[in-house]
């Protein structure tokens, strides 16, 4: 404003004392932060509700918003069950979730790196065709393939196994696509130098290209991990054995019959949500930086 007035060589028509302008600006800024804090609070309310009620005495679960005392009864129930209810394998389910999600995400990232490198930095006949196939598959509605994919996985003998959950989700087209476009920006000189030093192409991918793209790799990994962790439909249809179910599936399956044990289900939900939340907060430093790259 001041610069503008100087340019125009005019004084403001209404003279407002400078101190009041400053005060008003502070009030406006403060209001914005207040609004932002309130918004974030609304955003995390369901998480708070979940945590509070997983720690509430059972006669207060879903009765009062803030329980009068905190207890670990719901968590004990998860592990030991009660006289009338045998415990379900909740911890095993958490382990299953970890195995399936980590395995799946690892394969998706590695495959994205290698294939992305091949498509962006190598030259071979048919390269454009491979790229076009990826685009075609990206735009082809996956839901049409749900039943036939299930049949193929069953025919491969992977029904009711970890591999049945991991292998059909071992490739992410989105990750390949992101790495392909990102690797284009690596200078050719660096790659040439690495080749002269005798590094193999795979060596270049993991020793040169990967370290040069840590933020974007972190964000891609986080997104893939998050999505895999909360997957319901596929894991629900491919596994029947309670001991192989992911935590998400076990909670969904038990939400009907265990409707009378909301405290326990909240405790299971906390165990489901906490790891992903912690992981995200640890890497949130990379998040904004990498997200801008992902959106480009």
Partner 1 sequence: MSRRMQEVRGWLMASPYLLFAIIFFFLPLLWSVVLVFSDWNLIAPDWRWVGLQNFLEALQSRRVQQAFLSSFRFMIFVVPLGLAVSLAIALLVNSLKRFQGLFAVGFFLPYLASGVAVSLVVRGALAFNSPVGRFFLNNFGYVPDWLGNPWLAILIISLMIVWKFSGYYALIFLAGLQSIPKELYEAAQIDGASSWRTFWSITLPMLYPALYSVLILMVGLMFGIFTEPYVLTKGGPDLATHTWHLEIYYQAFSALRSGYATAISTLNALAVFITVMIVRRIMERWGRNLGWVD
Q: Which of residues 3-32 bind partner 1 (CB under 8 A)?
A: 4, 29, 32
| Residues 225-244 within binding reach of partner 1 (CB under 8 A) | 226, 229-230, 232-233, 236-237
Give the count of beta carbons closer than 10 Å to the beta carbon of residue 48: 12
Closer residue to partner 1 (CB): 16 or 144: 144
Length of the chain in residues, anyone?
A: 296
**273 scored as a contact of partner 1 (CB under 8 A):** yes
**132 scored as a contact of partner 1 (CB under 8 A):** no
Helix crossing, 214-229 with 262-295: angle to 10°? 150
Q: Minimum Å distance from CB 284 to partner 1?
A: 5
Token pair in block for residue 27:
């009030």
**125 scored as a contact of partner 1 (CB under 8 A):** yes
Measured between alpha carbons, how far is 194 from 188 in angstroms, rounded to an integer?
Answer: 10
**CA torsion angle 166 168 174 176 (round to 10):** 80
Question: What string of DSSP letters covers 91-129?
Answer: HHHHHHHHHHHHHHHHHHHHHHHHHHHHHHH---TTHHH
Binding residue for partner 1, selected from 58, 106, 150, 162, defined by CB under 8 A: 150
**209 scored as a contact of partner 1 (CB under 8 A):** no
Q: Minimum Å distance from CB 20 to partner 1?
A: 20
The 275-294 site mask, x for binding partner 1 (CB under 8 A), equals -xx--xx--x--xx--xx--
Closer residue to partner 1 (CB): 10 or 83: 10
**188 scored as a contact of partner 1 (CB under 8 A):** no
Helix crossing, 173-183 with 90-121: angle to 10°? 40
Rg of the chain's alpha carbons, rounded to an integer?
Answer: 26
The 63-102 site mask, x for binding partner 1 (CB under 8 A), equals xxx-------------------------------------
């Amino acid at each position: 404003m001041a610069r503008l007035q100087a340019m125009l060589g005019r004084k403001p028509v209404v003279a407002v004392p400078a101190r009041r302008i400053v005060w008003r600006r502070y009030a406006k800024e403060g209001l914005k932060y207040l609004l932002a804090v309130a918004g974030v609070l609304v955003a995390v309310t369901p998480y708070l509700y979940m945590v509070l009620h997983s720690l509430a005495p059972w006669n207060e679960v879903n009765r009062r918003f803030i329980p009068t005392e905190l207890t670990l009864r719901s968590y004990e129930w998860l592990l030991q069950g009660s006289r009338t209810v045998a415990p379900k394998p909740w911890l095993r389910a958490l382990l299953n979730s970890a195995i399936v999600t980590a395995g799946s995400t690892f394969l998706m990232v590695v495959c994205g790196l290698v294939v992305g490198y091949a498509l962006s930095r190598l030259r071979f006949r048919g390269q454009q065709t491979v790229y076009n196939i990826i685009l075609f598959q990206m735009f082809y509605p996956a839901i049409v393939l749900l039943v036939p994919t299930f049949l193929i996985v069953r025919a491969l003998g992977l029904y009711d196994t970890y591999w049945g959950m991991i292998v059909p989700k071992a490739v992410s087209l989105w990750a390949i696509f992101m790495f392909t476009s990102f690797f284009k920006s690596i200078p050719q000189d660096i790659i040439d130098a690495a080749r002269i030093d005798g590094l193999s192409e795979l060596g270049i991918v993991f020793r040169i290209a990967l370290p040069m793209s840590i933020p974007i790799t972190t964000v891609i990994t986080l997104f893939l991990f998050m999505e895999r962790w909360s997957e319901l439909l596929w894991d629900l249809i491919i596994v029947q054995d309670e001991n192989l179910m992911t935590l998400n599936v076990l909670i969904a399956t038990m939400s009907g019959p265990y409707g009378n044990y909301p405290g326990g289900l909240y405790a299971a939900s906390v165990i489901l949500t906490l790891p992903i939340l912690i992981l995200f907060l640890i890497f949130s430093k990379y998040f904004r930086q990498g997200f801008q790259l992902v959106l480009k």
